[in-house]
Amino acid sequence: MITKNLKLIFLGTPDFAVPFLQALIDNKMRPVLVVSQPDEPVGRKQELKSPPVKVLAQKFSIPLSQPNTKAGLLKILKENQPDVCVLVAYGKIINEEALKIPKFGFVNVHPSLLPKYRGPSPVQTAILNGDKITGATIMLIDQKIDHGPILSQEKIEILPTDNNQTLHNRIAKISAGLLVESLTKYLKGGLEPKPQDDSKATFTKVIQRSDGQVDWSKSAEQINHQFRAFYPWPGIFSHWGRKRLKIADLSVLEGDFSLPAESRREKAGPNLKPGEVFLGQNNSLAVRCGQGAIRLERVQLEGKKEMSGEEFLRGYKNIIGQDLASSV
């Protein structure tokens, strides 16, 4: 296969897919067609917004299609008869009939080191579990989710400051070049797909808004992982009384918060319980966890605007000594 004559179709939708489409364009592997999900209504006025991949395709005047059914996608593939399809975060499962159309199959990018973290939330799960390393896998799609043979992989460090958004962005930036390199070698017969070891497979789930609920019996580090994993969506929250308290930013406090107040600088009192609010250093808003404590840097009480912990304390001093609940 000579790549300059390649009949390639790219399927992708969100921001994560954009660097991969751009890399293909930059490396003379321009798709003959880009396929993306339909425009979606957003905001109060429900105005239609184009997916990021569509915007990039239009910028480079690449033909675009946005089928809203599997039958519509199948028709497009049959009409175009691509040599290969590249799929990155397209958002829909490809059925068996469609998978058989391209001579070289569907090449996919998955943001984990498969077979670890198959499924829809590999980046969030890696952060949630406190992993130090994740990566990207270039693979061929088969009928099972994230099960197909592997073409190549690249390890990527998870930084202590990484959240779901920043790590997604870095994986995309780093692995876009890996896609081009791997695809070129594969099409020229220089890269042999290797089956995954199913015995080592782990699976992730669809993230729900309720997953952002904080369990204060967990350690401060675990709650920090939860905050980073679910930023910017769904975010994390607790309850004060009957109102939801969104935690917009936090930091982990150092020290042993089981000690009496006179043994440390915090004005929290002895025998703090998980979920109990106390006054931290420099009059900060803090909460005891199962192990350690966190400082609430920014919060938003249901029905109110977002504010700093210090601003919140000025308006709600009676929160000190009270318990935050995981549910009401």
* Fold assignment, 209-319: Rossmann fold (3.40.50)
Query: Residue 112: its pLDDT value, please?
Result: 98
Spans of all domains in the chain: 3-200, 209-319
Q: Once rounded to an integer, what is the mean pLDDT over residues 225-240?
A: 97
- Residues 160-188: pLDDT tens digits? 999 999 999 999 999 999 999 999 999 99
Q: What is the pLDDT of residue 257?
A: 61
Omega of the bond prior to 111 within 30 degrees of 0, cis? Answer: no
Token digits of residue 3:
């790549």
Task: Indicate the helix (H) or strand (E) that contains 23.
Answer: helix 18-26
Higher pLDDT, 221 or 327: 221
Q: Which pLDDT belongs to residue 254?
A: 78
Q: Residues 250, 224: contact at Cβ < 8 Å?
A: yes
> Do the domains at 3-200 and 209-319 have one common CATH topology?
yes
pLDDT of residue 72: 96
Residue 113 assigned ligand-binding role: yes
pLDDT confidence of residue 264: 45
Q: Is the pLDDT of residue 79 over 60?
A: yes
CATH class given for the domain over 3-200: alpha beta
Question: How is residue 236 written in tokens?
Answer: 């994390």
295-318 residue pLDDT tens: 999 999 999 999 999 999 999 999
**What average pLDDT does the segment 290-295 reach?**
94
- At residue 101, the pLDDT reads 98
Q: Is 114 annotated as a binding residue?
A: yes
Looking at every residue in the chain, the average pLDDT score rounds to: 93
Strand partners, 295: 251, 286
pTM: 0.92
pLDDT bucket at 4, cuts 50 / 70 / 90: low
Query: Which helix (DSSP H) or strand (DSSP E) does residue 20 occupy?
Result: helix 18-26
193 is in an annotated binding site: no
Number of neighbours of residue 49 by Cβ within 10 angstroms = 13
112 appears as a binding residue in the annotation:
yes
For residue 203, the model assigns a pLDDT of 98
Lowest-pLDDT range of 177-181, 262-266, 289-293: 262-266
Q: Is the pLDDT of residue 73 over 50?
A: yes
Strands 47-49 and 40-42, how do they pair? antiparallel
pLDDT digits (tens, 9 = 90+) for 266-278: 444 447 899 999 9
Write out pLDDT tens, residues 127-143: 999 999 999 999 999 99
